[in-house]
Structure 1
């Protein structure tokens, strides 16, 4: 009978592996059997665009016009987009976005062959636009854009290599700058304010078409979407003094 001994190097290799497996098994048991509340997790990776130019409003108008004219329920109807003073528009409507988007949507529908009328018609339908501003006041940690850490690490690694090989140290920043130029164009901060833009087509009390889109917005642009929610400067009271003799 031959007894084979494990070398000390193999023992040193297997020890951390065994500890890792044991801790993994224990963590699995703990997660499965002793959690007394739902464990917080994240959603799958998604992207959400930011509105910060009138051209972005045009992109949304093109998207909605295409969706409306694809719908069999509304594509051949006369569509009326009410003016700003229409009764259905409440005090919460208005702002540059509501006016601009209504105009852009009208242009897109007409250019694509849609029937848009200046007055409601019998058998037609009304296009309504609603904007809801959402402000998050207590967000937790938000992961940076996908690839941030890799790009930063790669930039640092690339920048340090030429320092030992190139005669001009300033040239070391060129590879990292090229990498930054190719990756950061799609990055933007997440922000705490979003808008939900809903476009509906209504006939009497029936909703024939409804589409909602969500975007990030810059905090300073809130007046474009909800002017009633922009903080107003306090008014200074005036006192009139009248002399009496």
Structure 2
């Protein structure tokens, strides 16, 4: 009997502990699944975006047969460069582009620079820690087994060549690039894309807008 009473008491304590663990006075923050976001670091990347937008615009049924005028953007590097690149891509792909906004649909690009000031921890890419640990382990092998320590650099070099192209430094600055085509106050086409940029490249895109992120509501 005392043994049964002890078991019941123990089960009650454990069960109450489970209830305490599974409750919270406020919602618990969870992370999104791992996703990719490209990083703009060269004028060539502006060309890639211009190719993408020109391709989609000329395939849009709403723009079929319409003359287009690419409006000048802000007096910053990205706006000037993207205007020229987009115009070239539209013309190259057979688009009807005019030099004056007369009887045309207007193409404009808007850029918003977002700088996060209080971003929390960002998890490393899947496999990064394993790759690092493996590299460290491989580097210690020659001191115990190989006769030539310099051979340890070979596996590390191979790994570096294979993966270094996809490793990017963390950035707290992003740009939202929206390309629209309008006619008579009607939006015929709209496409928005988000990219990371290097923080020192803010002036290429315009003024940055700081977005504080805190745990206070």
Partner of 1:140: 120
Of the three residues 48, 51, 57, the one matched with 2:37 is 48
Q: Equivalent of 1:177, from 146, 152, 157?
A: 157
Q: Tell me which stretches of 4 or more aligned residues in structure 1 moved more than 6 Å.
A: 25-28
Q: 2-side partners of 1:77 and 1:43: how far apart?
A: 41
Match of 2:68 in 1: 79
Residue of structure 2 equivalent to 1:242: none
Unaligned ranges ≥5, structure 2: 1-13, 210-217
Deviation at 1:133, TM superposition (A): 0.3
Structure with larger RCO (C-alpha < 8 A, sep 6+)? 2
Q: 1:69 aligns with which of 48, 52, 58?
A: 58
CA contact (8 A) 1:163 1:172 kept: no
1:158-177 equivalences under 5 Å are 158-177=138-157
Partner of 1:98: 79
Unaligned stretches of 5+ in structure 1?
A: 1-22, 85-92, 231-245
Aligned length: 196
Q: With structure 2 as the length reference, what TM-score do the two structures score? A: 0.83
CA gap 1:31/1:97 in 2 versus in 1, 3 angstroms: farther
* CA deviation string 1:120-175 (max 9, x = no partner): 232x3100110000010001111123321010111122222233221111222321
